Every structure is written in structure tokens, then in C-alpha cells.
Chain A
Amino acid sequence: MKILTQVLVVALLPACLACTGKPEVDLEGTWRGPWTAGMTAGSLEVTFGGKRAFGDMTLYDVTLIATGTSCTSGGDSGAGDRTAAFRQDDVHFAIQMAGSAAGDGIFLFDGALNGSREIDGSYRLSSDACPACTCGMGTSGTWRISR
């Protein structure tokens, strides 16, 4: 009887381990946190919506609002249609700042999920310039958002 119990425990162990696997994270919703570009800093509000499956990734529509004391107007905002890609711990998204000409004002944000409630990463301006930007995000920087 004791041996039978041991066999059952060993057999059930893999199933229990499977149950403790990482739960699927959904980015949908609004995330907030700071951004920095050298000595300049501000706040970000990033909203992921329109969740769609794409292989082992999930695509989202994304909107971003950057604010800060350095902003010469109320803030900068940008958006992208299915330009956020999420897979396991990796979060990549791209936005184009409102008011930008075609090909201008495109920022790429690369980040990693830290737990299930925080994303840390860096960003860079992938286009030549962002004449419409008013907050001084520059050509690169870092960001951290949470919910």
C-alpha cells in the first residue's frame, strides 16, 4: 500500500508542476509610469486594446500619452494599429506621434515584463525626426510602466 501511494505521488507530480506554470498575462488596459531621456523626464500613459492573436504572440492597438514639465504644450500623444506585440516576457510597440508627417515621429518601445504588473524598457526614435514632439523625448530613453 505504501509503495502504491509513492507511485501515485510520483505520477501526479508532473501534473501538479504543470499547474504551477506561468499564468497567461494580458496587457489590455492602461499602464502608467515614468520616462527619461538624459536629464529630461516625464510620465507615460500607455493603453493596450484590440487584442488579437498572432501565432504565439498577441497583438494590440496601442495609444500613448507623454507628459512632463518639459512639455511646451500639454503633452505628446501617439498611436498605432496593431503595432504592439507581446510574447512571453517581451513587449515591443511602435507609435507615431499625432501631427507628424508620414514617416516622421515614429518611436519604437522595447520592454520586458517584470512580473505581471510592470514593464521596463527603452525607446528610440526610428524615424529621422519628430517635429511634432513637444516634450523633449529626444532620440532615445528609458521607460517603466505598471498597472
Chain B
Amino acid sequence: MPRVHVRDGDLGDLEDLQVTARPAVAGPRRRVGLSFALAGILLVLGPVAPVLAGIGERDGEIGVDYALQRFDADLLGETGGRWSLRAGRHETDQLQWEGQVMRGRVETTPLPGVERSVTLTLALVNLVLNFHPRAEVVPYVLLGVGLAKTKIQAVGLSSSDTGTGYQIGGGGRFFFGRGSVVALRVELAIPGGDAFEHSYFHPSIVAGLTFRIGRHRAPGALPAAIF
């Protein structure tokens, strides 16, 4: 009974209740001090608070990836490379807005010094739906819309056109361990764009790294550095 202070003889037979030498309860002044200390510790440890891998509400995300992209059959129909940068914010555990800028190029040289090339630049806003998010794997599907610039060159002639860009895709983030803020992002996507009075589609397979920005906390998890 650490919180009971009994005076000798006041309550009859109290043999079973031993009087404690000092009350265990801290006074108001000590309680305030303890709160300040606790708040200070939290402020200091906040940035390295226990986290769980995965990503969710209010988290930010930034990433870079590379894709092998099959350009539309009417734009050479060859496979080229594409880089992209992404940054976004998770409004809920499921819904995320994401901005993405990508640039892809394919070039063929049928004869030395004679080239055909396609350069595709897209700036998109993606709506990402994360489903069944777990600590280490966060699958998603996405739908994007924005602007697409298509530039073509062939045997010394060149043309360029800018129109609506769009994208549909899906994939997953695979975090490197339970405390990691870094994940491998793998995706299948079909970006496309309107140009030259046509619509072109470029199926792609994407791999890259993505970084969580924010405090995705989970009790009991190991501490890890957070951006």
C-alpha cells in the first residue's frame, strides 16, 4: 500500500498494514518538473522516435526511379530508358497525391550518322491508392494526368508537340527492414501522351528507391533515423 499513510493507533488493529517511512507520491512541484523533463526528452528524441517501416497518413515521400520503356509502335516501337523523380504526400493511409516528372528517350541509328529518336517528357500529378499497406510492403495503384512533350527526330528532320499526358500503373514499395525509411519501388506503368493529333502509349517496367519523410510511428519498433 504505498499510497496510504496511517498514523499509529488511529485505526485500531492494523498489524497487516505497515506504515511506510516516506510517501511515494511526488508533490506538485516534482510533477511539473517531471513533465518538463519528459517533454524535453520527447522533443529531443522526436526525430529518432521508434518507427515502423511502411508509409501512411501525413507521411511525405520522395523518390527516383529508372524504367525500361517500350515506346509506342508509331514512335519507333523500340525500347528505351526513362528517369523520373517523384514527390508526394499521403493524405490518408490509402490516398496519396504525388507529383512526377519523367524523361525518356529512345534512339536508333540505322546508318552511321543517321539517327531516329524520340524524347518524351512528362509532368504528372498522380493519385495513388495504397491498398493493404503493411510494415514492409505497401502495394499501390496510381492514375496520373498532366502534360506531355513529345520530340521526334529522323534523318535531320525534327518535330515537337505538347499535349495532355497521362499514366496508369501499379506496383509496390518494399521497405528494407522494419525500421527503414527507404524502400525499393517496383512498378508496371503505361504512361502516355497526346501529340501530333494522336495518342501514344509506352508500357514501362520501373524500379527505384523511395524515401519516407515524416513520423510514421509504431510503438515497440526499433528506433531509426527519420528525415
Contact = CB atoms under 8 A, between A and B. Distances in A.
A87 B159 CA distance: 9
B116 A82 contact: yes
A80 B196 contact: no
Contact of B196 (A56, A93, A126): A56
Of the four ranges (under 10, 10 to 19, 20 to 34, 35 or more), the interface on chain B belongs to 20 to 34
A41 interface: no
A127 B114 CA distance: 11
Contacts of A126: 113-114
A84 B114 CA distance: 10
Interface of B: 74-76, 110-114, 116, 118, 150, 152, 154-157, 159, 161, 195-198
Given A80-B110, A80-B114, A108-B156, 17 more contacts: A53-B198, A55-B75, A55-B161, A55-B195, A55-B198, A56-B152, A56-B159, A56-B161, A56-B197, A83-B111, A85-B155, A87-B159, A92-B157, A96-B111, A103-B112, A106-B112, A108-B114
Interface of A: 52-57, 59, 80-85, 87, 90, 92-96, 102-103, 106, 108, 110, 126-127
8 contacts: A54-B75, A54-B116, A55-B196, A94-B110, A94-B111, A106-B114, A108-B156, A127-B112
